[in-house]
Chains A and B, each alone.
Chain A
C-alpha cells in the first residue's frame, strides 16, 4: 500500500497517477470533508484527464482522514503543496505540522518520501530534528523532486522524464517498496544526496525561467523591429542546443507561483552564501515588466485617445486548464485600471468578490457588450471558437489585445479589429510594448 499525506494539487495528482500504475493507494488528509469530496470524484482542482483517470482506477484508491490507517503503508509520500505569500516566499509551517502529526502512525520499516516543494537543506534538517522518532519507527527519509505543471499535471505524473531522489546515503540501495513504486513508471531514477536533489528542483525551474525571459526579451525586440517571433521560434526549435520542447512561447511574465517561489528561494540562498545572483534579480524584474505588457499596449492603442474606455477581459486564470489565479496578469491589469468599467469572463474562475467597476460576465460575448477594447488574457480553447463578427458587433471599439495569439491576426483584421500580439509588430505602426 502506497500512502499520500496532504491532498492538495500535488497529493491528488500523484495519488491518482499511482493508482493508474496498478498500485493500491491510501490518500490521507486531516480534512475529513475534503476526503469525502475526493472519494466521490469531486476535485477542488482543475486538471485535464484527472476525472477520467480517477474513474478508471477508483477501485485502488482509498481516501481517509484517519492517520492511523497509514500504518498499512510501506511508502508514504508527503504531498502537501507548500503555499507562498504575496512575495512568493514559502510558508513551511503547515508542512512541518503535518509531518509531526502523522509520523507516529507509520509501521516499522516504512519509507517517507517528501514530494513537497522544500528548499535546499530542509530534508537533512528535518532528518536531524526528528532523528529519534525516525529511528524509533525505523523509517527512512527521502526527498523526491516533483515537476508537475499546472494544466498538464496528470500527463506529467503518468509519464515522468526521470525521478530525482534525494537520499541520506545515495550509495545505499533504496527500500524495496520504494523501488517497486519507482519501477512502476518507466523512466530513469537518479539517486543523489538530499541537497543535490533539492537544488536540482530549483535548477530545473531556473533554466526554464532563463528560457522564458530570453524569449520574452527577444519577442519585445521583435515587436519593435518589425520582426515576427512566430517565424523565429521554429528555427530555434530545430537547433539541437535549444530543442523542440524549449520554452519559446512569449508570455506575460512568470505566474502560477512555482517558478517565482524558486527564484525567491535561490536569491535568499545566494545572499546567504555570497553568490552572485544578479541574473536572477534581472529575471524577476523582467517578469514584472512583461506582466504589464497588456496595460502598456492598451494605453498606447486606446487610453491615450480614450481615457475612459470600457474594457472586456477574457480570462482570469494565469493559464489555460487551471483555476489558479496566482500572479495572474488579468488580476494585475484589473488592479491597474480601477477607474475604468470592465467586464470579465472566465470559463472556470469566479471571483469571490468584485472590486468597483468590475462585472463578471456569463459568457465571452456578454463580456464584450459596449467595450472599446478586448483583452484576451488566458488562452482558453473556447475563446478560439467565439464568433468574431458577433464580438465586433457587440463592441464599441475595435482593439483586441491578444498576447498569446488566441485569435488569428488575419481574421481579426478581416473583422475590422486592430489586434496586438506578443512578438508581433503592432498594426498601423503602433508599437505594442
Chain B
C-alpha cells in the first residue's frame, strides 16, 4: 500500500535518476523538465552500477535532501540467465551500500509486477510475491536489499511494481503494444501466439511517470502496483491496432509457446485511492498517442 507522507503536493527537491537514459528514465526527465526541478540523470555510460566504485561515486552524488529514482536494470531482452541475475543484484547491492550512509531523503525503486506469481488474480499490493523467473527474483531481492539498507538510514522507500509499460521511445521489443505497433507499421502484420487469448493490462508510460512525479512530490512510501485501466486479450490489442494503422495490418498466429493460457488482472482499488486525480489513459487513447509520436 502506498502512503503519502505529505498531505498535499509540494515541490520536489533535486532528483537523481539511475537509468536516466532508459525508457522510464527519459520520460521521467521529460515530465520533470517543465516543473523546473533539478535532475541528475545517470546512465550506464556515466556510472556502471556493476562496478564496486559505483558505491563511492553514488554516495558523493547524493546530497542531503535529494531523492533517488532507481530505474536501472538489465531487462530480460539483455539476458535471462544467472549471469544477468548476478549483474542486476550487484547493481542493487552497490546502490543499497551507497544509500546506507547517505543523507538522501527519499528513494523510489522501479520494480516489476513479475514479482507476483503468474496468475493469482486479481493482483493487488498484498498479493504474496512468488517470482517465477530470475528477472522477477532479481527485482524482489533488490526490493529487500533496499528496504534493509534504508531502514538503517531511516529513509522512506517507495517500491512501484508496474505491469508492462508501452509508449513512444520504448527500446524493448517484448510481446505487446510496442512490438505490435512496430511490426504493424514496418511489416504490415501483427504476430500472435496462439489466438492471443491471454488477458493483460498495459500501462501507458505517461501515466506511469505521472505517478512517479506525484510520489516524489509527496514523499510517498510503501509498495504500489500500477497497471493500465483494464485487462484486454492480445487479440483485442491487435484488433485495436488494426483500426489505428493504415494500411490495415494482417494478424498472424504462431504456435503458443509454453503451457496453458494464463490471464493477469489487477485490482486497481488501491491505485484509485492513492491517486484519485490521476485517471489511467484508456488503451486505445494511449495507442493513438504512441502511434502519433512514432509517426512524427
Pair A337/B268 contact, Cβ less than 8 Å: no
| B269 neighbours in A (Cβ, 8 Å) | 289, 292, 295-296
Encode B254-296 as 1/0 by CB contact (under 8 A) with A: 0000000000000111001100110110100000000000000
- With A304-B229, A304-B282 known as contacts, the answer to whether A339 contacts B272 (CB < 8 A) is no
Residues of B within 8 A of A304 (CB): 229, 279-280, 282
- A307, CB-defined interface residue at 8 Å: yes
Residue ID in chain B nearest A332 by CB atoms: B273
Q: Give A292 to B269 CA distance when docked, in angstroms.
A: 7
For window 285-328 of A, CB contacts with B under 8 Å fall at 285, 289, 292, 295-296, 299, 303-305, 307-308
Contact (Cβ within 8 A) B272 A296? yes
Judged by a CB distance under 8 angstroms, whether A336 is at the interface is: yes
Instruction: Establish whether residues A336 and B273, one from each chain, have CB atoms under 8 Å apart when the complex forms.
Output: yes
Q: Is B267 touching A337 in the complex (CB atoms < 8 A)?
A: no
Determine if B282 and A337 form an interchain contact, defined as CB atoms under 8 angstroms apart: no
A289 touches B276 (CB 8 A): no
Give Cα A337 to B279, complex, Å: 13
- The answer to whether A336 touches B280 (Cβ under 8 A) is no
Number of A-B contacts (CB under 8 A): 35
Contact yes or no, A339 B279, CB < 8 A? no
Number of A residues, CB within 8 Å of B: 17
Determine if A303 and B279 form an interchain contact, defined as CB atoms under 8 angstroms apart: yes
Q: Which residues of B contact A337 (CB under 8 A)?
A: 276
Flag if B268 contacts A296 (CB, 8 Å): yes
Contact in complex: A299, B279 (CB < 8 Å): yes
Query: What does DSSP make chain A's interface, helix, strand, loop or mixed?
Result: loop
- On whether the beta carbons of B273 and A295 are closer than 8 Å, the reply is yes
| A302 nearest CB across to chain B (Å) | 10
B271 — nearest CB in chain A belongs to which residue? A299
One digit per residue, 1 when the CB lies within 8 angstroms of any chain B CB and 0 when it does not, for chain A 319-355 equals 0000000000000000011111000000000000000
Set B230, B273, B276, B282: member contacting A303, Cβ < 8 A: B276
CA distance A303 to B277 in the complex (A): 8
A307 with B272: CB separation less than 8 A? no
Q: Roughly how many angstroms separate A305 CA and B273 CA in the complex, as a whole number?
A: 17
Q: In whole angstroms, how far apart are the Cα atoms of A339 and B280 in the complex?
A: 17
Give the chain A neighbours of B230 by CB distance below 8 A. 431
Distance A336 CA – B268 CA, assembled complex (angstroms): 13
Chain A residues with CB under 8 A of B229 = 304
Nearest residue (CB) in A for B126 is: A285
A/B interface sample: 18 pairs, CB < 8 A:
A285-B126, A289-B269, A292-B269, A292-B273, A295-B269, A296-B268, A299-B272, A299-B279, A303-B276, A303-B279, A304-B229, A304-B279, A307-B276, A307-B279, A308-B277, A336-B272, A338-B276, A431-B230
Residues of B within 8 A of A (CB): 126, 229-230, 267-269, 272-273, 276-277, 279-280, 282
Known: A303-B279, A431-B230. 4 other contacts (CB 8 A): A289-B267, A299-B268, A304-B280, A339-B277
Q: Please give me the 7 A-B residue pairs with the lowest Cβ-Cβ distance, nearest first.
A: A292-B269, A336-B273, A304-B279, A299-B272, A307-B277, A307-B279, A339-B277
